[in-house]
Structure 1
Amino acid sequence: MNRTPGMGLSKFQQGGTMAAKLVRPPAEVVTQAHQAMTRYNYTPESLAAKLQVATETVTQFLAGEPVETTLATQFCRVLQLGPKPKAGDAPNSSAVPPQPPTVLPQSAAPEPPPQPPTVLPEPEVLEVPPLARSEEVDRWCAQLLPVFTPLCDGVRLPDAPRPFSLLAIALEPLLYEDPPSQQRLEIVDLLEACHPENLTPFHAEGSLSVSELPPRLARQALAHHPRAIAIGCLGTGKTSLLRWITYQCLTGQWLPQCLPIYLSLVDWLDAPGQPDLLTYLAHTLPRLGVTIDAPTCERLGHAGHLLLALDGLDEVAPDAVPRLLQELNYFGARFPHCHLVVASRPVPYTNQLRSFVELELAPWEKPQIQAFVQRWFEVYGGGAVESEAFGELLKRDRCIAEMSALPLLLTLMCSTYHKRSRLFAIDMLREGFDLLLERWEASKGDRRSYHRLSDLPATQKKDVLGRLAIHALESQTFFFEEVQLEVFWHGLLRGPEGLEYQLLAGSHLLGSFHVQHGLLRLRAKGIYSYSHLCFQEYAAAKHIALHSATEGYQKLFHHLGNLSWRNVFVYLTNMLGDPDRFLHAMKEAVDGLIQDDRHLRQYVAWAGEQGQTLRQVYKPTAITAMYLDIDFEKARLLDRARAVEIAHERALERARQRSLGEDDGMDTQIDIGNAMRRAVDFDLAKDFFRRRICNLARLMEAKLDSRLTWLGVQAPHPEREKQKFIQWWEQRGEEWAKRLREAIVQPRKTIKDWEFTKPQLEALRRYHDANAQLVECLNSCRRLQAETRYAIESTLLVPPLPKTESAKIKR
């Protein structure tokens, strides 16, 4: 088949009924276009992205509506549209005369003939080179680039001695085309995406909000939506996005046919004489060294060769907002092919910008974080060594990893680590929290004073956030409906501190925390949460630290053993001026969990006796912890010298339960066979062959050694011989598990059986978790006296005296 790309254009030109700049595709060309879209696996979106045009333009062409002549030519070239030669025609035979230029509705378009079910070779699609940059646009970009770089490249953190080069470290952001915050979901829908006891990966990965579509790279999303509002809270990188795409366009790496102009909306609206946008451009560009006048700006706008990056929609004074919206809507209607990108925090009037699509800046994901860290230390010193060290810190510290999803906080942490060669989570929490709540706004001067949505001073805002955080932790609530927040604000007004909050208005306060500070995030329509779980924990700890002198710690100690409060205890320890007194009180409260139960005290004492037999290898406390069924990943802090080794040794029961995702067994009776039958992914069997289960068991009960070795040689290795192991498991796994159970249980018959009621099991579980919390506090505190540390460590997991005897000793 002889097909000349671009031949379809002759049909447009023969129509002759449209204006010179617009042509209407005939029905035959529309039909061929639909067939080509199917044949080449194009969608309207993918074709629009390929040609860097709006999806609506492709849809218009496929519907037979008028489009620009240049765009029609591109469609015909990419889709290889042209007249089809009849059978028997010579290669150079004349084409069939075109149909009259009538427009048929899509339903009346002729159906393509049925194709035989044969596999066609991959069609050779003619690639359309990027739209060429004209000489004048190239000249203007060359004039603007040396002016743009010094004006817009620098980014300065508050209190930083010098600015950072944005263009040297910037990454391409990700944008949600389906903003999660605009979806109508219920809290239960959000909870399906995360486990309420461990929101860490969801905060760190930025997926607390649910989106049907994954985010796209900024250039792809903005090419798809030439009229866009980039929405993001404080620190998400809105200004960086605009400056980055402007630089990409100036250097010809994106939309090379366009002249990009970065503007502050506030500067435009504050200009003398209140000029319209086109007039302001014509006056501003010559001052930047670009030789351009108003008629030329207008011509570029009509041709679609302008890219306007407009920053700070949320910074505009309230009385100037109506004028701004009117001007932008008028400019968009006057220049329908001009590319417009507006950046703003989430403000309610963005939906009044007609023809604009809201895109939401996505939190950074692990690949972006790793790339940014590597680039930062390459540019500012430290190189691969510091980059790898910082990457390891991100893996170890949940709090640091959470905050790194926000570009502003990651920049702060990289800068701090580069200066100090170390990073403490509590320090970064304090600096990050204050940066979002106070310092960033203060660094902007009066510009943002229009949008101080609440007149409360920062100290009272911290108090409100702390009370909300404690309320959330006590009620195990991670998401708040807007009406619940209003009830909470109302309760503050009616409480004993109500007089302090007379200036508080619920909607203004919510807007302040969400829009102004970004500490509360809109996760779906009307549903909020803290931006980071670690900020919620920090706010709670800060409130307790400020009020501990009057309220004491007894209410806090009710949450000992509750893993949701674990970090609150750690952060509080590092905030207090006298952590020694607090940790002594905490140790006394931990002992009190089993102080009234003689059976539990006896069990802890017996477990301690078992630890004495292995004191040459492990600290007795670590062995006691094993008998108490404490996870050795927590107990590793008890013995720094053997930290790595202890971290990999687990109690037999705990290893089984964790492998199966269970957490309800403190009983010493084991049913390995039943457990393995339910372990679909063979985690327990894999642990057996990794020797994590066996090593400590062999150490404690030497007779197990020969039995476990004999069992080990009978089975293929689950990792080195994966497929063989799966087949063997299906045939002999149940019998092998039975023998493993007998091997483990038989020696334990000589060990004293302990039976516990359900309340005792719960108390024992809480006791071991509370001890783990205490150990974390000991090891994280940098101001603890050596005497206090020794006194607490030496009595860890030692059964307390009954209250009556303890009272006698105190007297």
Structure 2
Amino acid sequence: MTSQGLRASPEGIRAAKTALTDKTWSQHKLATALGITRQPVSKFFAGESISRSCFVQICQQLGLSWQKVAGLPEDVAFETTPKTQFKGADLDTLVREVRQKRQDKIQDQCSTLQILDISQTIQLIDIYTDINVLEKITNLQWREISDLLKDFKSESNFNQLGGYKGQRKLPGLEVVLRHSKLMVLGKPGSGKTTFLQYLAIECNKGKFQPNRIPIFIRMKEFAEDAQSDSQLNLLNYIIQEFINCSIEQESTKIMLAEGKLLILLDGLDEVAVEKADKVTREVRSFTQTFYRNQFVISCRIAAHKYRFQGFTEVEVADFDQEQIEIFAKNWFVAVAFNSREDGEVIGNLFINQLHLPENQHIRELAVTPILLHWICLVFQVKDGFSLKPAKLYEQALNILMFRWDEIRGIKRDRVGYNLTLVSKKKLLYQLAAITFEYGDYFFEKENILQLIAEYLNTFAGVHSEATQLQLVQEAVLQEIEVQNGLLVQRAQEIYSFSHLTLQKYFTARKFVEFPQVQNWNNLVNHITEKRWQEVFLLTVGMLPNSDEILQIMKQKIDLLVAEDERLQYFLTWLHQKSSSVSTQYKAAAVRAFYLVCVEQSSHRAFIYPSGYDLEYALVGNIAFDADLALDEFLFSTIACINELDFAFEYSLNDALDHAHAFAIAFDETVDLVVNPKLKQVLQKLKKQLPSIDSNPEKFREWWQAKGKVWGEQLRDILIKYRNIGYDWQFDEQQKELLQQYYDVNKLLVDCLNSAADVTARVREEIEETLLLAIADIEKVRNSDTNS
């Protein structure tokens, strides 16, 4: 039966005009705010009859009682509500009866989860992790790229940018209690559906909103079940749901009229595009008609086009460290089907390994619940994070691009140019490579649309007219943003990739797709930039053969210090010293060892504290070799002398602590010496030192008077007997250059170790000439040629 129209009384029209003036609105602006045409608004103010739905919407938008505006008693309701009125105890009894009849249905519908790549259903309560929400929607904030970059301290805080900084995060449950109408927005896989299911279960158990009856509606199913537009009716849908639970139609209408339902509408973005507008209008009308109930609607943030009157909008925040840990500990019990004790042990192991520095790229993905689940699954199967990063990213990409929708039976409409999955990936590779090349982590919408247009122009058949191309560009961007969540808005009209580590992966894929010398040279030009290191590692890890790029990298590295005579001389000494040591280890690893020893003993370090990363990457720990261990102690003694000089010169309070450290290091060094002549001269030198413990002040005076000469004597002894102890006196530019040289050699060795395939000849050539002066490299190559 169609509702009869309503018309405003003269008093109602005056009140409405006053409200409109107070808001400084025109009738046109009022219509726009409601999402309706101007005609019913004009009729409303003219006192003509309009539909009840429009009448109520207008009054609610103006903050007026529709009954008063219509000149009706306050208790008049829509004809969809029954004439019978329940109050007090009778209504409470009815609520209890309806809740009881609905319990099994809600439990069956919402208590379990179907999880990616897990064949069994999982109990929601066993894995649920409380979510936090942001009160301000990130993509609605007006910020500039410069504002975002102010917060960009390091790559590790990338996920906290774009509206997260300074925002108050609130528990999701707390926000639902605050607002009777809530729109929950979030990225793909952020936990929106799970949160709504949790609300339904908690309400069902009487722990949340115990005086309301939950109903959980998947909007995709609501739209699909309607055979015609006339059947897109939420009232009839809910009535039928309740009838299926043996609840009479009249009782359902009473519950709705009295505001006794918790109505959870999940996945507004999952409705097919041809029904989206009709479903949205139905939701708007229903929520305004039955406004006394509590509503929670979920939707992907990028698909959020419609705003509903009276709804507060919040955004699901990424998981923080505490949430990741809670989720992981639950996962290894509930999903991996371990005992509680075993699951907690594995969960703690997972968390400890996740926080290792080398797993930074995994931690970045772990802030998204669906990806965290998959990371836990990999860890369970592989007994650790042994999966190669490129494989990890490819799987994460597939989850976001199609698998997450596929498992839930969601087929999203292609709203843009008819790109295949492969073409869409190649577009992402190009977008990432170009933006990363320019150092752009954030980019204006206009720029990203231009890059999309350039890519689409490579396809035959794309219309070249500007208007048509603009529409295609917008549609493609919308598709990537809404359906895949791989591009996200960090503020109004400002985009970035959802994860910085995926931007690097896409950039590497671009080089893999076009393995040409010119592209290799372009990549190698960035070899000294730390932000490019992961791109290099990913590229060599994905190439079927990495010989060519590794050789170009080696050539670039050698040329880095080729023009500096002092550094070339230093590398020549490094080769001579390393060659004089009898050891089973690779020559390159020994050279790396002595390079770090020199750094650690210098007056001012030129290599950042990194341990023995380079030689460890080559052969592992080499500290147990006797000759190398002795030299390490000798270098350590020189380092202590430098620190002691500095402490006494500046009268530091801990100068005597440095003196004790020096004495201990020197004693241990002398004990370790085997060569009798060296041992003799060191012991003689040791006798010159006054006792620190018996008279600290005397030691201070002696050191300040004679310490410099004593130190020079020690250096002369070490140069004579061990060919170490030189004071290289590098300037700041040389120190910086040597730091770069060390870092890029470490990167080269890491690339050698992670490459999918390198021929034995190329590997051997690189390792043999690592950390050598140009002249020595030529000798090695000539020797290999002659042999």
Query: TM-score normalised to the size of structure 1?
Result: 0.68
2:258/2:292 contact within 8 Å kept? yes
For residue 469 of structure 1, report the CA deviation from its aligned partner.
1.8
Quick one: which amino acid aligns to residue 278 of structure 1?
L
Matched residue SS, 1:641: coil
Pick the aligned partner of 1:521 from 485, 488, 501: 488
For residue 374 of structure 1, report the CA deviation from its aligned partner.
0.5
Quick one: which amino acid aligns to residue 236 of structure 2?
T
1:637/1:776 contact within 8 Å kept? yes
Quick one: which amino acid aligns to residue 315 of structure 2?
E
Pick the aligned partner of 1:376 from 331, 336, 349: 331
1:374/1:383 contact within 8 Å kept? yes
1:803–1:650: structure 2 CA closer, same or farther, 3 Å change rule?
Answer: closer
2:399 is matched with which residue? 435
Query: Matches of 1:772 and 1:696 in 2, distance apart?
Result: 31
Pick the aligned partner of 1:192 from 146, 150, 164: 150
Question: Residues 15-34 of structure 1 correspond to what in structure 2 (within 5 A)?
Answer: none
For residue 259 of structure 1, report the CA deviation from its aligned partner.
0.8
1:286 is matched with which residue? 243
For residue 675 of structure 1, report the CA deviation from its aligned partner.
14
Matched, 1:144 2:144: no
Matched residue SS, 1:548: coil
1:245-282 per-residue CA deviation (whole Å, 9 max, x = no partner) reads 11111112211111111101232233244152122101
For residue 310 of structure 1, report the CA deviation from its aligned partner.
0.5
Matched, 1:180 2:138: yes
Question: Residues 394-413 of structure 1 correspond to what in structure 2 (within 5 A)?
Answer: 394-396=354-356, 397-413=359-375
Quick one: which amino acid aligns to residue 326 of structure 2?
A
Matched, 1:365 2:320: yes
1:808–1:400: structure 2 CA closer, same or farther, 3 Å change rule?
Answer: same
1:620–1:212: structure 2 CA closer, same or farther, 3 Å change rule?
Answer: closer
1:641–1:651: structure 2 CA closer, same or farther, 3 Å change rule?
Answer: closer
1:451/1:516 contact within 8 Å kept? no
For residue 549 of structure 1, report the CA deviation from its aligned partner.
4.6
Query: Matches of 2:95 and 2:259 in 1, distance apart?
Result: 12
Higher alpha-carbon Rg: 2
1:610/1:624 contact within 8 Å kept? no
1:468 is matched with which residue? 431
1:389 is matched with which residue? 349
Pick the aligned partner of 1:641 from 621, 634, 640: 621
Query: Matches of 1:282 and 1:511 in 2, distance apart?
Result: 36
Query: Matches of 1:568 and 1:686 in 2, distance apart?
Result: 47
1:638–1:161: structure 2 CA closer, same or farther, 3 Å change rule?
Answer: same
Matched residue SS, 1:448: coil
Matched, 1:345 2:300: yes
Pick the aligned partner of 1:225 from 179, 187, 197: 179
For residue 491 of structure 1, report the CA deviation from its aligned partner.
3.9
Query: Matches of 2:623 and 2:94 in 1, distance apart?
Result: 67
Query: Matches of 1:606 and 1:474 in 2, distance apart?
Result: 38
Matched, 1:774 2:755: no
For residue 238 of structure 1, report the CA deviation from its aligned partner.
1.4
1:200/1:533 contact within 8 Å kept? no
Query: Matches of 1:240 and 1:190 in 2, distance apart?
Result: 31
Quick one: which amino acid aligns to residue 180 of structure 1?
T
Deviates most, 704-713 or 181-190:
704-713
Query: Matches of 1:524 and 1:453 in 2, distance apart?
Result: 23
Matched residue SS, 2:142: coil
2:610 is matched with which residue? 632
Question: Residues 529-608 of structure 1 correspond to what in structure 2 (within 5 A)?
Answer: 529-549=496-516, 551-580=518-547, 582-608=549-575
2:208 is matched with which residue? 254
Question: Residues 52-91 of structure 1 correspond to what in structure 2 (within 5 A)?
Answer: none
For residue 455 of structure 1, report the CA deviation from its aligned partner.
2.2
Deviates most, 158-167 or 769-778:
158-167
Query: Matches of 1:638 and 1:601 in 2, distance apart?
Result: 22
For residue 372 of structure 1, report the CA deviation from its aligned partner.
0.7
2:158/2:500 contact within 8 Å kept? no
Query: Matches of 2:436 and 2:557 in 1, distance apart?
Result: 20
2:449/2:473 contact within 8 Å kept? yes
Matched, 1:264 2:218: yes
For residue 409 of structure 1, report the CA deviation from its aligned partner.
0.4
Query: Matches of 1:781 and 1:688 in 2, distance apart?
Result: 45
1:487 is matched with which residue? 450
1:157–1:774: structure 2 CA closer, same or farther, 3 Å change rule?
Answer: farther
Quick one: which amino acid aligns to residue 435 of structure 2?
A
1:48 is matched with which residue? none
Query: Matches of 1:676 and 1:293 in 2, distance apart?
Result: 92
1:73 is matched with which residue? none
For residue 430 of structure 1, report the CA deviation from its aligned partner.
1.5
Matched, 1:315 2:289: no
Deviates most, 140-149 or 212-221:
140-149
For residue 218 of structure 1, report the CA deviation from its aligned partner.
0.8
1:324–1:302: structure 2 CA closer, same or farther, 3 Å change rule?
Answer: same
Deviates most, 135-144 or 240-249:
135-144
For residue 351 of structure 1, report the CA deviation from its aligned partner.
4.1
Structure 2 runs not aligned, ≥5 long: 1-63, 66-88, 464-468, 600-605, 674-681, 717-724
For residue 676 of structure 1, report the CA deviation from its aligned partner.
12
For residue 453 of structure 1, report the CA deviation from its aligned partner.
3.9
Deviates most, 741-750 or 469-478:
741-750
Deviates most, 514-523 or 164-173:
164-173
Structure 1 runs not aligned, ≥5 long: 1-64, 67-130, 655-667, 716-733
1:713-737 per-residue CA deviation (whole Å, 9 max, x = no partner) reads 999xxxxxxxxxxxxxxxxxx99x9
Question: Residues 645-684 of structure 1 correspond to what in structure 2 (within 5 A)?
Answer: none
2:412/2:483 contact within 8 Å kept? no
Query: Matches of 2:660 and 2:285 in 1, distance apart?
Result: 69
Q: Percent identity?
A: 23
1:652/1:697 contact within 8 Å kept? no
> Number of residue pairs matched?
639
1:676/1:685 contact within 8 Å kept? no
For residue 364 of structure 1, report the CA deviation from its aligned partner.
0.3
2:411 is matched with which residue? 448
Quick one: which amino acid aligns to residue 210 of structure 1?
Y
Quick one: which amino acid aligns to residue 298 of structure 2?
A
Deviates most, 330-339 or 788-797:
788-797
2:593 is matched with which residue? 622
1:260/1:306 contact within 8 Å kept? yes
Query: Matches of 2:365 and 2:354 in 1, distance apart?
Result: 10
Matched residue SS, 1:263: strand
1:488–1:698: structure 2 CA closer, same or farther, 3 Å change rule?
Answer: farther
Query: Matches of 1:188 and 1:676 in 2, distance apart?
Result: 44
For residue 518 of structure 1, report the CA deviation from its aligned partner.
0.8
1:671/1:741 contact within 8 Å kept? no
Cα RMSD (Å) = 4.8
Matched residue SS, 1:282: helix
Query: Matches of 1:351 and 1:687 in 2, distance apart?
Result: 68
Matched, 1:796 2:787: no
1:521/1:528 contact within 8 Å kept? yes
Query: Matches of 1:675 and 1:571 in 2, distance apart?
Result: 49
1:490-518 per-residue CA deviation (whole Å, 9 max, x = no partner) reads 44456xx4648768932222222221111
1:739–1:471: structure 2 CA closer, same or farther, 3 Å change rule?
Answer: farther
1:188–1:748: structure 2 CA closer, same or farther, 3 Å change rule?
Answer: farther
For residue 597 of structure 1, report the CA deviation from its aligned partner.
4.1
Query: Matches of 2:247 and 2:450 in 1, distance apart?
Result: 57
1:415 is matched with which residue? 377
1:242/1:309 contact within 8 Å kept? yes
